[in-house]
Amino acid sequence: MGWRSKFFFLIVIYCAGFFSAVYYVAHGDENSPANDKAVRIVNAINYYSSKIYSRVSEKYSQIDKEELKSAYNKGVEAVNEMTAKYCKNQNDAQ
C-alpha cells in the first residue's frame, strides 16, 4: 500500500470521525420525545449526584483526621502482619 493510499484512507477515517461527532453533537428537534427523555435522564443524574456529593462532603468534613490516620495505620499493620505470616508459612513449606 503506497503513501497515497494510506493518506486517502486516513482522510476518509478522519472525515468519518468528524462527521460522526458533528452528528452526535447536533441538536435534534426540541419537542421530540427522545430529547425529552434525555433531558429527564440528565436532570435526574444531576439531581442525585449533587445530593450524594453534598452528603459525602458533609460526612468527610466531620471526620477526625487523627482518628482516620490511626485506623488506616492499624489496617496497614494488620495487612503487613498477615503478609509476614503468609510468607513465613510459604517459606516453611518449601
Q: What is the pLDDT of residue 65?
A: 80
CA end-to-end span of the chain: 57
Angle among Cα 25, 49, 58 to the nearest 5 degrees reads: 145
Per-run averaged pLDDT (10 residues), the chain, 94 residues:
86 91 73 71 86 80 81 91 79 53
Q: What is the pLDDT of residue 76?
A: 93
Q: What is the pLDDT of residue 79?
A: 92
